Amino acid sequence: GIDIDEFTNIANKLLINDYNITQTADDLFLHKNTLIYKLKKYEQIFNIDIRGDFKGKFLMVLIANTLREYQRQKQVGEKI
Protein backbone atom coordinates (compact mmCIF):
# COMPACT_ATOMS: atom_id res chain seq x y z
CA GLY A 1 0.00 0.00 0.00
CA ILE A 2 0.82 3.64 -0.27
CA ASP A 3 0.14 6.64 1.90
CA ILE A 4 -2.62 8.41 -0.03
CA ASP A 5 -2.02 11.77 1.63
CA GLU A 6 1.69 11.67 0.83
CA PHE A 7 1.06 10.54 -2.76
CA THR A 8 -1.49 13.26 -3.45
CA ASN A 9 0.72 15.90 -1.83
CA ILE A 10 3.69 14.88 -3.98
CA ALA A 11 1.52 14.84 -7.13
CA ASN A 12 0.16 18.31 -6.39
CA LYS A 13 3.59 19.80 -5.64
CA LEU A 14 5.02 18.25 -8.82
CA LEU A 15 2.20 19.76 -10.85
CA ILE A 16 2.63 23.19 -9.24
CA ASN A 17 6.40 23.11 -9.86
CA ASP A 18 6.04 21.94 -13.48
CA TYR A 19 7.60 18.57 -12.54
CA ASN A 20 10.86 20.16 -11.41
CA ILE A 21 12.23 17.53 -9.01
CA THR A 22 14.61 19.85 -7.16
CA GLN A 23 12.01 22.55 -6.50
CA THR A 24 9.39 19.98 -5.51
CA ALA A 25 11.79 18.33 -3.08
CA ASP A 26 12.52 21.74 -1.53
CA ASP A 27 8.79 22.51 -1.20
CA LEU A 28 8.17 19.13 0.45
CA PHE A 29 11.22 19.51 2.72
CA LEU A 30 12.68 16.30 1.29
CA HIS A 31 16.08 15.50 -0.11
CA LYS A 32 16.02 15.24 -3.90
CA ASN A 33 17.11 11.58 -3.78
CA THR A 34 14.31 10.77 -1.34
CA LEU A 35 11.75 12.23 -3.71
CA ILE A 36 13.23 10.29 -6.63
CA TYR A 37 13.08 7.10 -4.54
CA LYS A 38 9.40 7.72 -3.79
CA LEU A 39 8.65 8.46 -7.46
CA LYS A 40 10.37 5.23 -8.52
CA LYS A 41 8.24 3.35 -5.99
CA TYR A 42 5.06 4.91 -7.42
CA GLU A 43 6.24 4.12 -10.95
CA GLN A 44 6.54 0.45 -9.99
CA ILE A 45 3.22 0.33 -8.18
CA PHE A 46 1.20 2.01 -10.94
CA ASN A 47 3.39 0.81 -13.85
CA ILE A 48 3.77 4.32 -15.30
CA ASP A 49 6.76 6.52 -16.20
CA ILE A 50 6.28 9.61 -14.04
CA ARG A 51 9.68 11.23 -14.51
CA GLY A 52 10.05 10.93 -18.27
CA ASP A 53 6.72 10.70 -20.01
CA PHE A 54 3.92 13.26 -20.23
CA LYS A 55 1.31 10.49 -20.14
CA GLY A 56 2.82 9.18 -16.91
CA LYS A 57 2.77 12.63 -15.35
CA PHE A 58 -0.85 13.12 -16.38
CA LEU A 59 -1.82 9.67 -15.07
CA MET A 60 -0.17 10.40 -11.73
CA VAL A 61 -2.30 13.52 -11.31
CA LEU A 62 -5.45 11.62 -12.31
CA ILE A 63 -4.67 8.78 -9.90
CA ALA A 64 -3.94 11.26 -7.10
CA ASN A 65 -7.22 13.11 -7.69
CA THR A 66 -9.16 9.84 -7.80
CA LEU A 67 -7.58 8.61 -4.57
CA ARG A 68 -8.22 11.96 -2.88
CA GLU A 69 -11.88 11.87 -3.90
CA TYR A 70 -12.19 8.24 -2.75
CA GLN A 71 -10.66 9.16 0.60
CA ARG A 72 -12.98 12.17 0.95
CA GLN A 73 -16.06 10.05 0.24
CA LYS A 74 -14.87 7.41 2.69
CA GLN A 75 -14.40 10.04 5.43
CA VAL A 76 -17.80 11.59 4.84
CA GLY A 77 -19.42 8.18 4.93
CA GLU A 78 -20.93 8.25 1.48
CA LYS A 79 -21.78 4.94 -0.08
CA ILE A 80 -18.99 3.99 -2.46
Specify the DSSP class assigned to residue 49: -
**68: number of Cβ within 10 Å:** 17
pLDDT for position 4: 92
**Helix runs in 1-80, H state only:** 4-16, 21-27, 32-46, 54-76
- Is the pTM value of this prediction over 0.75? yes
Q: Give 24-60 pLDDT, tens digit per residue.
A: 999 999 999 999 999 999 999 999 999 988 999 999 9
